[in-house]
Each structure stands twice: as structure tokens, then as C-alpha cells.
Amino acid sequence: MKTIALVTQKGGTGKSSLAVSLAVAAEEAGYRPYVIDLDPQGTAKNWYERREASSPQVASIEASQVAVALTTLKKQGHDLVIIDTAGVDTPATISAMQAADLCLIPARPSIADIEATRATIASLNKLGKAFAFVLNHCPPGKSMRTTDAYRVLNLGGVVSGATLATRADHIDALAMGQGVTERDPSGKAAGEIRELLQWVMNKMEGKSDEQKTRVA
């Protein structure tokens, strides 16, 4: 079982939306995902309550329950757990970092978001955890702002090869209890999420670009 944690000490970067859309895309690709919501705002849990489908499931738990929850989910046959965290430094965020095989740090292509990643990186380095940046809420199409942000973040660590643009599908899908791959399966937002999922799975499995895990 692989575990992903979305972590950053800044709100508004799209952690919850990424968490649920990645989970939906993973289920469509044949995985058995589960989402753990450690954010007191409960965005992922609220999404699940609006959702018509019964899976992927989402549960809100306390930081002290993470280790036990992961053991239980593995026994139940889940092979991917995605942990959503608050946009602040909390014991729950630290527990998510400790439990994760890979921590994803979403960041918008802005100086404020890039500067805000420093505290998160320091915590991850102290824990010795693998992490990667994900550029999110980028201008659609080619943008110098996105290119510059990629270059700067690349100096601090690995940056996902999948960049996600600001698209209405993310907002609409979250509001309707859907993943973007359900909202518009052939849309650009869906394609970007599938690309991110494939990149993340390859990264956790130690595969190169030439050895890609197939994600439908």
C-alpha cells in the first residue's frame, strides 16, 4: 500500500481538490484508494457527503489515529491512501508527513506560495521524507510565470512533470462531489490529473519515464 500526503503551510493551494480528484482517477485506473481528511475544515469529507457514489471513501480522523487507520486500510485491501492536511503546521500535518511514502507540496506560480514552501521543506527534510512540488492553479497554456516558478522550485527539490492549470472543472467537480475525470472525462483538467497520478505512481515505485506505470 502506498500513501501520499498533500502538505503545505499555506491555504488556497488546492490540496483538497487534488486529493479527491487523484483518488477518483486512481479508482478509475484500477486502484483501491481511500482518502483521510486531517484538515479541520473538512473539505474532502464534505465533498464525500455530497457525492452520489460510495467510493472512494473519505474519513476524518485525529492525528493520533493515522498509524492505526493505515494498518486497518491495508488489511482491508486498499492499495493507495491519500491524506489531506490543513494549511498550517499542526501535529496532524506532521503525522501525515511521517506516514507518507511521498509528500506532495502544491504551489501556485506566485512568490508568496513559493516562499511559503520553505517551512514545509524544512519539516520534511528534518523527517527525511521524500517530497515533490506540484504546480497548481497555473495560467492555461504556456506562461512565463509558470516556467519561472518551475525553475525556482526545481532548485529546492523535485517538481512534478504534470502542471495543473486553473480550470472551472476543479471548482464544479468539488461542488458536485465528483473528481474532474468524472466531471468531464475528456477535458483538459481530467488529462492533467491523470498525468499527475501517473507521475506520482511512477515516482513512488521508483520507475523512470521509460518505465511508466500504465494509468487508464
The whole-number mean pLDDT for each consecutive block of 10 residues of the chain, a chain of 216 residues, reads 90 88 98 95 95 96 92 96 85 89 93 87 92 93 88 90 93 96 96 96 75 44
The cell for 26 is: 486512481
The model's pLDDT over 38-70, given as tens digits with 9 standing for 90+, comes to 998 999 999 999 999 999 999 999 888 999 999
Closest CA to 204 of 154, 120, 129, 119: 129
What's the Cα-to-Cα distance from 131 to each of 2, 54, 117, 210, 211, rounded to whole Å?
14, 30, 11, 21, 20
pLDDT of amino acid 207: 67
Average pLDDT of the chain to the nearest whole number: 90
CATH number of 2-211: 3.40.50.300
